[in-house]
Copies of this chain bind each other. A is one copy, B any other.
Amino acid sequence: MVSVAIMGHGVVGSGVAEILLTHKQKLFASLGEEIYIKKILDLREFPDSPIADRFTKDFEEIINDLEIRVVVEVMGGLNPAYDYVKRCLKAGKSVATSNKELVAAHGAELLAIAKEENVNFMFEASVGGGIPIIRPMNQCLVANNVGEVAGILNGTTNFILTKMIEDGMQFADALKLAQDLGFAERNPAADIEGHDACRKICILASLAYGRHVYPDSVHTEGITDITLNDVKLAKEFGYVIKLIGKVKKLSDGSLDILTAPMLVPLNSQLSSIDYEFNGIMVRGDCTGDVVFYGKGAGKLPTASAVVADIVDCCKHLKARRFLFWADGDGSNIIDYKDSVSAMYLRVSGDDAEAKAQKLFGEISTVRSGGELAVITPEIRYGDCQSKCAELRDSGVNVLSVIRIGDI
């Protein structure tokens, strides 16, 4: 029997407890012994829980219990999660977490402590919810140099964009629907402004390239400026608009990483990932493109990924699993203005097409009402900004500027 504690009894935490209780037999068959929930930490009371007697409001009861070998952190946020996780690891307990904010902010430090203490720090659920991605990247793709990782990493924004694409809904209406259906928080900023997706691509980039990438070194744009016109015009060119987190290793070893809406070509596997689903493409030098698809959030999908980590921690109480990356200082990340891609512009005004052609060279265009959509050749983002400024100076309205994703 391995005793575990669960810190947090919200959506994911209650799901973890539920799976540990309802899937007891299957987990026993895999592990060869029972996983026993000894403590659940939450400030609230849950008198109706079948294990109501094991709840505590006092973290010290967990940290000081030598029988508890594995601690699950599903509280979310940085405080007190960061402090608690650090103390658990230092006390020789393995930790499994679904907390992407924590991993993106402190992953390198926590992995280093885990290594020093010869325990495990695992976070399969922090990216892609129930989709296996951390372990496949770390283990199955170990024989690959990863050229690129790109993904639809946030289900809320993907739901909103899909509703705009499929049903012609306005952004605000689609956001409200997502909130009503429970896909979006009342305060949706972290999702729609891209910060949630950014944290996830940071975790994947750190894992793929071995040095921590912190969110504040990654250029991030959300989807709040995407209009129905953009959606329609993108379709005419053969693209769908998706919020993409993307990291690419350049030939000099530096990383081109960003989170932004992109036009994804219809022949990309990512283009058909719709609604609240997530999809992650990993481009290996041996495997080629591998894509992982599934529900990126939700109580049981996320909880089942946490439970997989718990089982792995329980199997490796003595032998450490080889999951590690070093700290990073951002020096290997290029300025987002130096990133190169083809661009989509939506413009209006007299002679917009001729002016765009003069500035950008060989462009493709589609007209819709008084507006013109333009796809430019590949261009440095900073140069695109300058040319857009020139366009504006020449009397052209530049209404949208969105990258074309080569994914």
Show the binding face of A for B, using Cβ within 8 Å: 15, 19, 23, 26-27, 29-32, 124, 130-132, 135-136, 139-145, 210, 269, 272, 284-295, 298, 300-301, 303-305, 307-308, 311-312, 315, 319, 322
Contact = CB atoms under 8 A, between A and B. Distances in A.
Contacts of A322: 30-32, 315
A243 to B, nearest CB: 19
A257 to B, nearest CB: 20
Nearest to A31: B322
A206 to B, nearest CB: 14
A195 to B, nearest CB: 25
A288 B293 contact: no
Contacts of A32: 322
Contact of A292 (B29, B210, B292): B292
15 contacts: A26-B143, A124-B140, A131-B287, A132-B132, A132-B141, A135-B135, A141-B304, A141-B308, A142-B311, A143-B308, A143-B311, A290-B292, A291-B292, A291-B294, A292-B292
A270 to B, nearest CB: 10
A290 B286 contact: no
- Copies of this chain in the oligomer: 2
Contact of A304 (B143, B294, B319): B143
Contacts of A311: 139, 142-143
B142 A286 contact: no
A285 B303 CA distance: 12
Contacts of A315: 322
B301 A288 contact: yes
Contact of A140 (B272, B286, B305): B305
Contacts of A272: 269, 272
Contacts of A15: 286
A290 B140 contact: no
A301 to B, nearest CB: 5
Contact of A130 (B31, B284, B295, B308): B284
B131 A290 contact: yes
A332 B104 CA distance: 46
Contacts of A131: 287, 290
In the complex, the 7 A-B pairs of residues with the closest C-beta atoms, listed nearest first: A132-B140, A130-B287, A143-B307, A286-B304, A290-B294, A132-B136, A291-B293
Nearest to A26: B145
Contacts of A30: 142, 322
A305 B142 CA distance: 9
B303 A142 contact: no
Specify which of A32, A284, A298 lies most central, judged by the most chain B CB atoms within 10 Å of its CB: A284
Contacts of A286: 15, 19, 23, 130, 300-301, 303-304
A88 B190 CA distance: 54
Given A130-B286, A300-B286, A300-B287, A308 B27 contact: no
A290 B143 contact: no
Nearest to A266: B272
A65 B146 CA distance: 35
B130 A290 contact: yes
